[in-house]
């Protein structure tokens, strides 16, 4: 396999993997937010104080970015080796 074709293949695999990992992150957030809101609502009702759902954006972004980065690198390295 020539180098140009291998690089194009690895870039295509990396892009596809990035899209799939990003979709996984979005779906994970969509699934996690309603239970978080429900727990906050229950805690608020149990304690009698206002409790809102709190999501640390920095930690969430770091975890999501790390997942996408690892997925893209794994896909690109594997594609480049074939």
pLDDT for 8 equals 86
Residue 18 buriedness (CB in 10 A; 0-12 / 13-18 / 19+): middle
Q: Where are the domains of the chain?
A: 3-81
Beta-carbon contacts of residue 9 (< 8 Å; ≥ 6 apart): 79, 80, 82
Q: How far apart are CA 70 and CA 68, in angstroms?
A: 6
Question: Please, what are the averages of pLDDT over each run of 10 residues along the chain (82 residues)?
Answer: 80 92 95 94 93 91 95 89 78
Q: How far apart are CA 64 and CA 21, in angstroms?
A: 9
């Amino acid at each position: 396999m020539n180098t140009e074709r291998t690089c194009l293949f690895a870039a295509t695999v990396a892009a596809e993997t990035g899209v799939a990992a990003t979709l996984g992150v979005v779906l994970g957030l969509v699934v996690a937010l309603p239970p978080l809101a429900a727990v906050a609502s229950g805690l608020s009702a149990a304690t009698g104080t206002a409790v809102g759902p709190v999501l640390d954006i920095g930690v969430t972004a770091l975890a999501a970015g790390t997942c996408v980065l690892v997925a893209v690198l794994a896909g690109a390295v594997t594609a480049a080796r074939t």
